[in-house]
Amino acid sequence: MTLSLTDIARQTRQSARQLALLPTAAKNEALEAIARTLETAAPDILAANAADCEAALAENIAKPLYDRLKLSPTKLTAAIHGVRDVAKLPDPIGAVQIHRELDTGLILKRLTCPLGVVGVIFEARPDAVIQIASLAIKSGNGVILKGGKEATRSCTELVKAIRTALAQTQVPPDAVQLLTTREEIIELLALDKYVDLIIPRGSNAFVRFVMDNTRIPVLGHADGICHLYIDKTADIAKAVAITVDSKTQYPAACNAVETLLVHQEIAPAFLPTAAQQLQAKGVELRGDEASRAILSREFTINAANEVDWETEYTDLILSIKIVDSLDAAIDHINTYGSGHTEAIVTEDATAATAFLGQVDAAGVYHNCSTRFADGFRYGFGAEVGISTAKMPPRGPVGLEGLVTYKYQLVGDGHIVATYAGSDAKPFTHRDLGM
């Protein structure tokens, strides 16, 4: 019998309640079982991904989406390594954040606990299945996954392997579920009785659609318009290497730089060298009038306009603007940035401090590539997504984004009337050891 989505969500919630009670060792054993099973199933997973990629090419998929869809042996191995990294992380559940005596025999605790059930809707990026499932299990949460239609075969094989592994452990396999049709997205967004958090990973329009069509809390980011500012005191060799890496190491990623800001004093020395290396990597350059005046004699550089400053290319395209000061760079970033990741290259500590303090983004970097904005690179083991919201969690979201807390109060017949009125007994409010 085919289960309804409501039934699937109900199963996931029940499994999540069982998972929430498991000790750390049981969850870590489940993660190791997943890693081993994924290694065994690698040929089937890669074959399914090859079929997805072939079908996507036949439908003329956009190159950035294709890059995310393709699951190479190296990428799969890295994702499996990430599962084992998650197992090594401290268990985020059951941590005592507050331990306080309100009065003799009346003890308050605040403890971390799982959210419950998380729904994650993501683009054609099958390795996200591995990252999200491992973080969900470690944090004691059930998860309902919905990948892009281009990755259906890949996601199906991955979840099959994960559920096969869980069947050998104390973690119920129904804690990890996969949806495969677009119609199920709307159904999922309506299940506020069973789903505690929705994490959309996709285009600006899609994230907005999710936010507008659910009463479930949503964690996510719509755009990844990242900037790199080359200050007047930057070391040119360092600046060129960081620029090339930030743009070309993986241009489809949301933390790839889209706009390069260059101080006018260093632009004549920096830009030709940077342009040479960028175009050698196949990058299309778009510049303002000042940058084109410097580069157009030797390089092909198209005119940039207002739309370029507002665009997340996720491709080998880079817009360039020359600014006359650090303040102008910061102003541009705070005007056009999406709050994702912004970086400065400078040897001036004062300028770096001003940039790090005044730029409004989840990640602000000094003398390093924007591509470091990643849960795995931060030591989170993996990430469920990236949030550009002001309220936490912010930036790459690992285990902490899947955890909430509850208050436990234990007394011995205590009543509030004792502490009210003219003869009210005072509270002791004495903090106890954790």
Q: Which domains does the chain have, with CATH numbers?
A: 5-220 (3.40.605.10), 226-372 (3.40.309.10)
Q: What's residue 27's pLDDT? A: 98
57-61, long-range: CB < 8 A, 24+ apart:
59/150, 61/124, 61/150
Q: What's residue 386's pLDDT? A: 84
Residue identified by tokens 């056009």 is 336
Q: What's residue 2's pLDDT? A: 80
- Distance between CA atoms of residues 127 and 220, nearest Å: 18
> Largest Cα–Cα distance of the chain, in whole Å?
87
Q: What's residue 390's pLDDT? A: 84
* pLDDT tens, N- to C-terminus, the chain (434 residues): 688 999 999 999 999 999 999 999 999 999 999 999 999 999 999 999 999 999 999 999 988 789 889 999 999 999 999 999 999 999 999 999 999 999 999 999 999 999 999 999 988 889 999 999 999 999 999 999 999 899 999 999 999 999 999 999 999 999 999 999 989 999 999 999 999 999 998 777 788 889 899 999 998 766 789 999 999 999 999 999 999 999 999 898 889 999 999 999 999 999 999 999 999 999 999 999 999 999 999 999 999 999 999 999 989 999 999 999 999 999 999 999 999 999 999 999 999 999 999 999 999 999 999 999 998 899 887 788 888 888 888 888 889 889 999 999 999 999 999 999 999 999 999 999 87
Q: Which residues contact 237 (CB under 8 A, 6 or more apart)?
A: none
Q: What's residue 1's pLDDT? A: 65
Q: What's residue 160's pLDDT? A: 98
Q: What's residue 87's pLDDT? A: 96
* Sheet strands side by side (includes 142-146): 176-179, 142-146, 117-122, 197-201
Q: What's residue 55's pLDDT? A: 96
pTM: 0.83
